[in-house]
Copies of this chain bind each other. A is one copy, B any other.
Amino acid sequence: MMNRSILIGRLTKDPELRYTPSGVAVTQFTLAVDRPFTNGQGQREADFINIVTWRKLAETCANYLRKGRLTAVEGRIQVRNYENNEGRRVYVTEIVADNVRFLESANTQRDDQHNQDIGMPVEPSRKPMNQDPFSDDSKPIDISDDDLPF
């Protein structure tokens, strides 16, 4: 009915641009968002929140965002579920972003050696989308054209 989230945090990795079978661009990344308090041991923890963007915004994110960059994200919470390769139902919560702000552009970044070497904007790595975008090990596709938000 109403579903709005706004987050500010830092990318845990470079984002990765993929394409659905019908050719729609999708970019996923994770934002580390510091908690507003410290835990029992006096350490500040973070929530690691998955973000998905589609189409033109996906391409802009892939082009301009990099690991560690401070970023603001606005979107809606989505809870998808799919059956994994062991036949178990897995629930994935993610933010479907419709507004992303790059709070650190390349030239405000201090020790990003990669940017200095390469120049910005950089072409993102493009992989065929045959992986669970939120994990590192091989799993069957779990994002398809059915997941398109519009």
Closest to A149 in B: B37
> Measured between C-beta atoms, what is the minimum distance from A15 to chain B in Å?
18
Within 8 A of B (CB), among A1-56: 1-9, 33-37, 39-40, 47-49
Closest to A108 in B: B108
Q: Which residues of B contact A2 (CB under 8 A)?
A: 6-8, 33, 72, 74, 99, 101
Q: Which residues of B contact A7 (CB under 8 A)?
A: 2-4, 77
Question: If the complex has contacts A72-B72, A103-B70, are A47 and B4 also in contact, measured as CB distance less than 8 A?
Answer: no
Indicate if the CB atoms of B79 and A48 lie closer than 8 Å. yes
Residue from B77, B101, B108, B149 within 8 A of A1 (CB atoms): B101
Indicate if the CB atoms of B49 and A79 lie closer than 8 Å. yes
20 chain-A/chain-B pairs, Cβ below 8 angstroms = A1-B9, A3-B6, A3-B7, A3-B8, A3-B9, A3-B49, A4-B5, A7-B77, A35-B78, A37-B150, A39-B146, A40-B146, A47-B79, A49-B77, A77-B77, A79-B93, A103-B103, A104-B108, A108-B108, A108-B110
